[in-house]
A = this chain, B = another copy of it.
Amino acid sequence: MKHVAEMTREELLQLRGDLEKQYEEFKAQGLKLDMSRGKPAAAQLDLTNGLFSALDDYHTESGLDARNYGVLDGIPEAKKLFSDLLDIPAEKIIVGGSSSLNLMYDALTRLMLFGTQGEKPWKDVKGIKWLCPSPGYDRHFAVTEDMGIEMIPVPMRADGPDMDVVEKLVAEDDTIKGMWCVPLHSNPLGACCCDETVERLASMKTAAKDFRIFWDNAYGVHHIYEEVPLKDIFKAAAACGNEDRILSFFSTSKITFPGAGIAILASSISNIAEIKKHMTVQTIGHDKLNQLRHVKYFKNADGIRAHMKKLGEALKPKFDMVLNTLEEELGGTGLASWVRPKGGYFVALDTLPSCAKKTVALAKEAGVTMTGAGATWPYGKDPKDSNIRIAPTFPTLEELDKAIHLFCLCVKLAGVEKALEEKNA
């Protein structure tokens, strides 16, 4: 189809009629498809079924009985595995339970209740705020919202958060205590922080002494089209004396099993000591057998890397299908824009302003569940009502084919309607 800006009212009316007919045909199929959550497909999970039989012995390398109590911060070989994979010294790593979200939530809880590095507990500071690069991850926003922290959206760009905006805000306001950041293949944009962004995040002046970046490297090894390097934010921060600023998170949720993987937290030696002081009260230790299971299955960081190659190959056809269909159906129409991700789990699409909710509702009505419009913004409020997250991993290729075509149709329907309104206005 032509670009909407170039279409006459009559052409738009004609097009709307055609689209409505196609939409009714889709509805008649009685689809029931879900592109709402970043869940791996069963076929992806099958790739690590070897985990079920990986535990041939329950002793760690040092002879410790992993069935029993003990070892708060993870068995040494699990620390080493992630240390090698992420190039973070083992002594800066805590291996936790199965959920990195849980590690983030608990980290924020500790900051609220106890503060950090001698600063006032955040519960005792009035009106604290948090920067939320948006579009971003709804579960991140839910954590800060749960704590009653005021969230300030800042623009997310293809190379990371808009640093001009970030630097200005954090320099001026000492109640801004931190920010979320997914540095690689971000959810949902697929943005990757460039070296300059990392440098600026690490070195920027913050009015709050206890400003913290929650660096959720959830997709740190989840490359599909291209292996994107990530500058070491710990080293960059250490170089300016800001190493305590960084709390980094990672998990195998999208490497092995989301329901039963392992998660890690990494930070400065000083922060790790502080965290362990409370964590040792919270628990005697996390599931060491699952840690050992993962170590025995992957053997080493190269084992994970080799697996991620396979996973990338398994995901590529799905991303190809989404990106090709978007291009075929929406390219040049002026109805949508999107960025081609290089990895990760999502494609984010911007409709015309005020069309995202409508688009998602249309898809829902025809049997395709998308992530709720607005979910990629703090408080679920997308100021332009335009961003929609597409999660292509869970459906089969055949399902995805149907779902993404229907989705494009809905983008068009909502967009043409909008264009017609504007012609009428």
Contact = CB atoms under 8 A, between A and B. Distances in A.
A257 B67 contact: yes
A331 interface: no
Contacts of A281: 105, 139, 142-143, 145-146
A249 to B, nearest CB: 13
Interface in A201-251: none
A286 interface: yes
A68 B105 contact: no
A65 interface: yes
Contacts of A52: 55, 58
B258 A68 contact: yes
What is the interface residue range for chain A against chain B?
35 or more
Contact of A112 (B40, B65, B113): B113
Contacts of A287: 97-98, 259-260, 287, 290
A336 to B, nearest CB: 28
A91 B164 CA distance: 50
Interface in A275-311: 278, 281-290
A109 interface: yes
A99 interface: yes
Nearest to A66: B259
Nearest to A143: B281
Contacts of A97: 97-98, 286-287
A379 interface: no
A284 B258 contact: yes
A42 B69 contact: no
Given A52-B58, A109-B109, A99 B45 contact: no
B40 A258 contact: no
Nearest to A71: B259
Name which of A52, A68, A146 has the most chain B CB atoms within 10 A of its CB: A68
A19 interface: no
Given A113-B112, A147-B113, A67 B101 contact: no
A216 to B, nearest CB: 14
A70 interface: yes
A257 B109 contact: no
Given A97-B287, A109-B109, A123-B123, A258 B102 contact: no
A289 B54 CA distance: 14
A259 B98 contact: no
A32 B388 CA distance: 63
A39 B260 contact: no
Interface of A: 37, 39-40, 42, 45, 52, 55, 58, 65-71, 97-99, 101-102, 105-106, 109, 112-113, 123, 139, 142-143, 145-147, 253, 257-260, 278, 281-290
22 contacts: A39-B68, A40-B68, A42-B68, A45-B65, A45-B67, A52-B58, A69-B253, A69-B258, A70-B259, A71-B259, A97-B287, A99-B286, A102-B283, A106-B282, A112-B113, A113-B147, A143-B282, A146-B282, A258-B284, A260-B289, A287-B290, A290-B290
